[in-house]
Chains A and B, each alone.
Chain A
């Protein structure tokens, strides 16, 4: 049995935490991703995938890539593209070297156990009915929420 004082200590903690919530952003990023990329550089990994993401003459385009450019603009950021294989890109987002990964990844992705994944968005042009997600660093919940809010407005 938990000592009496301990179980009594959990309950008064709740309003304290709620109070803290008023003074802080909820949710917030433990590593401060959104604060860092806003007005700065958004490092995006892209794996090539049909109409969604393609590469011409060193520049990345496609419907999903355009969506990312628009999101970057909404937070006043400039996109820095890294093109590569999906697994390698996911490793980089996990280690903090990338902020976002795209490329026809669906809501069935097994990466959900390793990194942060947005909700699925079925309405992206060129997705051929697939419900697409984007990959973000694990636990960067404010950045994730900001991205999902943008996608809700744009494609939902």
Chain B
């Protein structure tokens, strides 16, 4: 069991967390390698600077995740009564903003090149006495470089669901941006080879639109979570199914007449405040505590469950009539 705030992680999630940490370290190591290797191949300076800044920014979500992991283990204290789970939410915002900047830089660079009708120049290199077109070498380097992030993206997406972790979800988008940008530059360089000078800019524009979109949706999602919107699934598309499950579980108790829940996502775990209206005027402590345990048992993400008896539900939680 792995220590996790004031509880412990189930084996499946503890294992997923270990793999997530490993893959984040691999991603950072990968970026360090690509920055070094690409520096040897790509000569044209302006494009290179942008590519470097992008590469460095692409490690931000990974760094944010590895830092957040240190904080989420901390026990709850008087000073931090909710624990430090929000560190994941903050990291999600960092990841979203990093995606916006990377996508924005790429979009600006590629669109301004297209508008200026820039014809990219790629000459030759002299290798072992042969004169070889540099484009072939670029493609040769870009193909192996594009492969790892393709698998990183898939693994991160799977782990983000297992860990209910939106920072990993944003980072999966960053890895996807990595391999798609590389694939686009392969298409672009080959296009230049065939004399289709605009293909490089067009491919990069197309890819940057996708990255920018990922960035905007992730940033929006992070801000909504940090401003305590009701918990959603990792892709932010629908209310988290656990909200219904919690209400169902409590409604099944014989002493409960009405239930309304406030569930917020702290980046990967839930903070649950369940208002219950009892059938009688009195409720026993035993009933309240066992209700809390039942809810906590629904999922490992139920880190903080408060059962609040009330004479009527708060207005916003009352079933609409």
Residues of A within 8 A of B (CB): 1-2, 6-7, 10-11, 13-14, 17-18, 20-21, 24, 26-30, 112-113, 115-119, 136-142, 144-145, 148-149, 152, 156
Complex: how many Å from CA A21 to CA B121?
A: 18
Complex: how many Å from CA A21 to CA B183?
A: 17
CB-CB under 8 A from A116, the residues of chain B are 121, 123
The answer to whether B193 has its CB under 8 Å from any CB of chain A is: yes
| Inter-chain CB contacts under 8 Å: number | 109
Do the beta carbons of B176 and A1 come within 8 Å of each other?
Answer: yes
Q: Nearest chain-A residue to B131 (Cβ)?
A: A149
Known: A26-B135, A113-B46. A141 touches B190 (CB 8 A): no
Do the beta carbons of A118 and B193 come within 8 Å of each other?
Answer: no
The answer to whether B187 has its CB under 8 Å from any CB of chain A is: yes
Identify 19 residue pairs between A and B in the complex whose beta-carbon atoms are under 8 Å apart, listed by A's number.
Answer: A1-B214, A10-B184, A10-B203, A13-B187, A17-B190, A26-B133, A29-B195, A30-B119, A112-B44, A112-B45, A113-B46, A115-B121, A119-B123, A119-B124, A119-B125, A138-B118, A138-B119, A141-B195, A148-B123
Complex: how many Å from CA A6 to CA B121?
A: 28
Report the minimum CB–CB distance from A40 to chain B (whole Å): 19
The answer to whether B155 has its CB under 8 Å from any CB of chain A is: no
Do the beta carbons of A28 and B190 come within 8 Å of each other?
Answer: no
Do the beta carbons of B180 and A148 come within 8 Å of each other?
Answer: no
Do the beta carbons of A141 and B121 come within 8 Å of each other?
Answer: yes
CB-CB under 8 A from A11, the residues of chain B are 183
CB-CB under 8 A from A26, the residues of chain B are 133, 135, 193-194
Q: Nearest chain-A residue to B186 (Cβ)?
A: A14
